[in-house]
């Protein structure tokens, strides 16, 4: 199901599972078209069959069970991630030429979409310094990851995005060390006691996206705040959830890594 808003952004929801290679091909083609001015921005909500993806910072030692599910090279930032039924994946193909050429702001705003969406269902979810993604503190004090993030930017057009654990099979995460963080667990909205449907989650995500990014393109304006320290800090070995800072010409520049001043965006 796809709907193009009056502002021109396409909001697409795929009802059946989407094979990961097909999603990659679709995103690559759409990024080129957005850059060329022949296609609108796209927010794509979907689910994948069970699989693992490897980001550009993936450590092969974190692939605990390589025979369990197919493993794909994602080409995005970050490390190993699981995708599967019951997890809402949202790919954001946005033109930062229209929204502001600021990757830090973009990643922070994506995290805020997750935080505010979960808050509408009564879940207090937070960023943690040294860990990309969104986390919840459990009754026993442990911190579990409820959503992941990994993006890529090509000539100021973004792709890949976020994954919110609505009701996936959490045992599937045991085949990897999710995002290279072994000292914390993984949770879902269902494990936290919610019976939220995917449709209900999708409705809220769209509302929050409009609040933060705008269905009509506008500059990103969130005030970036430092994330609090978690119970265990992983800042020393953190990795970026995206490749590198794109320059005005659209090439990748690693001479001034943003993790030096923005540890909130590390994994």
Please list the pLDDT of the chain residue by residue as tens digits (267 residues): 766 665 689 999 999 999 999 999 999 999 999 999 999 999 999 999 999 998 888 889 889 999 999 999 887 877 888 999 999 999 999 999 999 999 999 999 999 999 999 999 999 999 988 887 899 999 888 899 999 999 999 999 999 999 999 999 999 999 988 765 667 889 999 999 999 999 999 999 999 999 999 999 999 999 888 777 665 544 433 444 544 444 444 444 444 443 333 322 222
**Is-catalytic flag, 179?**
yes
Given the residues 42, 115, 179, 220, select the one marked as catalytic.
Answer: 179
> What DSSP assignment string belongs to the chain?
-EEE-TTS-EEEE-SS---HHHHHHHHHHHHHHHHHTSS--EEEEE---SEEEE-TT--GGGBS-TTTS-EEE--SSSSEEEE-TTEEEEEEE-BHHHH-S-HHHHHHHHHHHHHHHHHTTT---EEETTEEEEEEE-TTS-EEEEEEEEEEEETTEEEEEEEEESS--GGGGGGB-GGG--SSEE--TTTTT----HHHHHHHHHHHHHHHTTTTT--------PPPP-SS--GGG---SSS-EE-TTS-EE-SS-GGGT-GGG--
Query: Is 106 within 8 Å of 112 (Cβ atoms)?
Result: no
Out of 3.90.180.10, 3.90.1310.10, 3.40.50.300, 3.30.930.10, select the CATH number for domain 2-265.
3.30.930.10
Which residues lie below 8 Å from residue 139, measured CB to CB, with a gap of 6+?
none
Q: Would you state the pLDDT for residue 159?
A: 96
Q: Would you state the pLDDT for residue 180?
A: 59
Domain ranges for the chain = 2-265
Q: Would you state the pLDDT for residue 139?
A: 86
Residue 168: Cβ within 10 Å count: 24
Q: How many residues belong to the chain?
A: 267
Kindly report, residue by residue over 16-56, the tens digit of the pLDDT. Answer: 999 999 999 999 999 999 999 999 999 999 999 999 998 88
Phi, psi torsion values for 34, nearest 5 degrees = -65, -45
């Amino acid at each position: 199901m796809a709907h193009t808003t009056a502002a021109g952004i396409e909001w697409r929801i795929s009802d059946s599972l989407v094979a990961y290679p097909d999603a990659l091909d679709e995103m690559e083609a759409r990024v080129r078209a957005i850059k060329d001015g022949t296609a609108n921005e796209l927010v794509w909500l979907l689910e994948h069959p069970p699989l693992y993806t490897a980001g550009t910072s993936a450590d092969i030692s974190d692939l605990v069970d390589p025979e369990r599910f197919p493993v794909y090279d994602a080409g995005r930032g970050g490390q190993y991630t699981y995708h599967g039924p019951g997890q809402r994946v949202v790919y954001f193909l946005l033109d930062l030429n229209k929204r502001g050429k600021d990757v830090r702001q973009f990643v922070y705003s994506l995290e805020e979409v997750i935080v505010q969406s979960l808050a509408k269902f009564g879940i207090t979810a937070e960023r943690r310094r040294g860990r990309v993604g969104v986390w919840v503190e459990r009754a026993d004090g442990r911190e579990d990851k409820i959503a992941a993030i990994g993006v890529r930017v090509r000539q100021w057009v973004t792709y890949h995005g976020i994954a919110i654990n609505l009701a996936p099979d959490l045992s599937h995460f045991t085949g990897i060390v999710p995002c290279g963080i072994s000292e914390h667990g993984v949770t879902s909205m269902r494990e936290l006691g919610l019976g939220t449907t995917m449709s209900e989650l999708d409705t809220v995500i769209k509302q929050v996206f409009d609040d933060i990014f705008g269905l009509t393109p506008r500059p990103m304006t969130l005030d970036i705040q430092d994330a609090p320290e978690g119970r265990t800090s992983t800042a020393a070995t953190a990795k970026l959830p995206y490749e590198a800072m794109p320059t005005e010409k659209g090439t990748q520049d690693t001479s001034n890594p943003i993790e030096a001043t923005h540890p909130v965006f590390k994994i």
